[in-house]
């Protein structure tokens, strides 16, 4: 069992005023109360099929690799199932992080609307932790938290500013989860997962909306220094999660390979050769949560500044501030390669928002 502890200095705000002032947040809180469900009673746990694929293989990046498609069917099944369970394990760990962070937000968010919104989310997150833990128990396999995700969770838990907690959890990690749940409704194959993932998606949509609505009003009120800090916080989190900032993310996923029975001595060189040239792969139909939900929500709350656009482009994200839109051009686009060349020529690390600002 993996365990880590953090110490945090948290400011608790008590406000002697109980009226709800923000109509949109009040409506969200009211909707949240009406849509509660019970993971123990409202899910028929008898529907589990241990032999089925977990998710549709065609939506997994691995399915685009020749070295994978040439594996025997039993090894392919083990690989795709392991990759799905690794992903769901990280979702589970992220839901516990959300549970703990929202518990902190109840204390430190200054307005009653925000306290109510965070409080009802605590119950939602407890339910999500329960349902995914139960689900992985059915498979008999749960992967530990990845070090990249753990570093973000620890930063969130120790963060003193409630705005940064809200950006990191509600707008970034929850947007990543929302993208997965939205896609999961369409690509879930295993019957038990298909039964409950839509309910989780509905909850998650409210959580992201809570963060966006809260920060849309709050960000313009911040000082320049506070806003710059949040912009950098968001950029750093995307660089860690997205795996496009020159440092591979979620490297612990490699342990899935070791459990499949694949001859790694033969397989790994072919695997590395293919992923080194993504321009030769058919990536049509694959969705990246950064362009699907995360960066659009950061744009909406005003946390993507012009000074960081070169760094986002170096990661393959082409952003238009005028239209608040983002296009995934991947890492092999000529503009991306040119931008990476500029950073390299100036000996700047585009995973670091402070160094990206120097290039602007």
The pLDDT value given to residue 182: 92
The pLDDT value given to residue 283: 81
- pLDDT tens for the chain, 360 residues long, are 667 666 666 767 666 665 666 666 667 777 778 889 999 999 999 999 999 999 999 999 899 999 999 999 999 999 999 999 999 999 999 999 999 999 999 898 888 888 888 899 999 999 999 999 999 999 999 999 988 888 888 988 888 888 988 898 888 999 989 999 999 999 999 999 999 999 999 999 888 888 888 888 889 999 999 999 999 999 998 998 888 887 666 667 778 888 888 998 899 899 989 988 888 888 887 788 899 999 999 999 999 999 999 999 999 999 999 999 999 998 889 999 999 999 999 999 999 999 999 876
The pLDDT value given to residue 288: 87
The pLDDT value given to residue 277: 84
DSSP 252-316: GGGHHHHTTT--HHHHHHHHHHHHT-GGGS--TT---HIIIIIHHHHHHHT---GGGHHHHHHTT
Alpha-carbon distance of 254 to 239, in angstroms, equals 20
**The model's pTM:** 0.88
Give the dihedral sign, CA 321/326/330/335: negative
The single residue listed with the structure tokens 């110490």 is: 7
The pLDDT value given to residue 353: 96
The pLDDT value given to residue 21: 64
Domain boundaries, the chain: 23-262
Cα 26 from chain centroid? 26
Cα angle 4, 237, 156 (rounded to 5 degrees) comes to: 40
Other C-beta atoms closer than 10 Å to the C-beta of 335 total 12
Whether 311 contacts 353, CB under 8 Å: yes
Other C-beta atoms closer than 10 Å to the C-beta of 122 total 18
Alpha-carbon distance of 119 to 105, in angstroms, equals 8
Domain 23-262 has CATH 2.60.40.1730: no
Whether 175 contacts 294, CB under 8 Å: yes
For the chain, where are the E strands, in sequence order? 317-320, 325-328
The region, left, alpha or beta by phi > 0 then psi within -120 to 50, assigned to residue 337 is alpha
Whether 211 contacts 129, CB under 8 Å: no
The pLDDT value given to residue 15: 63
The pLDDT value given to residue 311: 96
């Amino acid at each position: 069992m993996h365990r880590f502890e953090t110490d945090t200095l948290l400011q608790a705000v008590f406000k002697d005023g109980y009226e709800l002032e923000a109509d949109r947040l009040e409506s969200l809180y009211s909707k949240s109360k009406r849509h509660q469900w019970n993971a123990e009673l409202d899910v028929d746990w008898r529907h589990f099929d241990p032999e089925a694929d977990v998710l549709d293989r065609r939506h997994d990046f691995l399915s685009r690799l020749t070295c994978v498609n040439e594996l025997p069917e039993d090894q392919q099944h083990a690989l795709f199932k392991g990759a799905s369970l690794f992903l769901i394990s990280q979702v589970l760990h992220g839901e516990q992080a959300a549970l703990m962070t929202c518990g902190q937000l109840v204390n430190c968010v200054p307005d009653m609307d925000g306290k109510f919104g965070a409080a009802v989310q605590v119950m939602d997150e407890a339910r999500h932790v329960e349902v995914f833990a139960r689900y992985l128990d059915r498979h008999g396999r749960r992967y530990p938290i990845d070090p990249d995700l753990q570093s973000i969770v620890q930063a969130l838990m120790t963060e003193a500013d409630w705005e940064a907690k809200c950006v990191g959890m509600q707008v970034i990690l929850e947007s990543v989860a929302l993208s997965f749940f939205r896609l999961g409704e369409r690509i879930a194959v295993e019957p038990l997962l298909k039964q409950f993932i839509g309910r989780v998606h509905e909850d998650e949509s409210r959580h992201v909306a809570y963060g966006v609505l809260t920060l849309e009003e709050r960000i313009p009120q911040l000082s320049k220094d506070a806003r710059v800090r949040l912009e950098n916080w968001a950029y750093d989190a995307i660089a860690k999660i997205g795996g496009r900032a020159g440092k591979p993310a979620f490297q612990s996923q490699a342990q899935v390979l070791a459990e499949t029975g694949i001859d790694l001595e033969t397989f790994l060189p072919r695997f590395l050769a293919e992923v080194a040239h993504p321009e030769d792969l058919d990536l049509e139909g694959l969705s990246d949560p950064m362009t699907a939900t995360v960066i659009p929500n950061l744009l909406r709350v005003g946390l993507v500044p012009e000074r960081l656009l070169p760094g986002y482009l170096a990661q393959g994200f082409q952003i238009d501030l005028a239209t608040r839109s983002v296009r995934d051009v991947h890492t092999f686009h000529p503009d991306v390669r040119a931008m990476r060349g500029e950073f390299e020529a100036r000996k700047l690390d585009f995973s670091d928002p402070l160094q990206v600002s120097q290039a602007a």
